[in-house]
Amino acid sequence: MTKTDPASEQGNDEQLNKAIEELRGVLHDGAQGAGAHGGSPNADMIMGIPVDVQIVLGSAEMPVSELMALQKGSTVSLDRRIGEPVDVVVNGRRIARGEITLLENDPGRFGVKLTEIAG
């Protein structure tokens, strides 16, 4: 993991929390508008649209000859180091960055703790 200044980290946390609250407010307003208040009737449909979420650990570039030589047990070196943030990509667009973490309720799985929201 990378070391950061505690004051800087607190500022980043506040910015992240503010962005999350703004998003929740927009989603909440949209959901209320779709109900009895006469807002958008398509809000429920829009909220139900599936999106492709990917967590990108890194990437690699290699010639086709190396690609064709890959086999079971081969190791591909990525362009990121252990502890560097991973990208959270939605429908091909980076929306956030975060760090890999174990899930508290299921230590056999891992997740991503958001540390930055793309602005």
CA max distance for the chain: 62
Looking at residue 2, what is its pLDDT? 44
Compute the distance between CA of residue 13 and CA of residue 95 in angstroms, rounded to an integer: 16
Cβ contact 44:34 at 8 Å: yes
pTM of the model: 0.60
**How do the domains of the chain map onto residue ranges?**
1-49, 51-119
H/E element, 91: none
> Under 8 Å CB-to-CB from 55, ≥6 apart: which residues?
86, 87, 88, 89, 98, 112
What does pLDDT average to in each consecutive run of 10 residues of the chain (119 residues)? 54 71 62 49 77 93 96 95 92 92 91 90
The CATH class of the 51-119 domain is: mainly beta
Q: Edge to edge, what strands does the sheet with 93-103 contain?
A: 53-56, 86-90, 93-103, 106-117
Cβ contact 101:85 at 8 Å: no
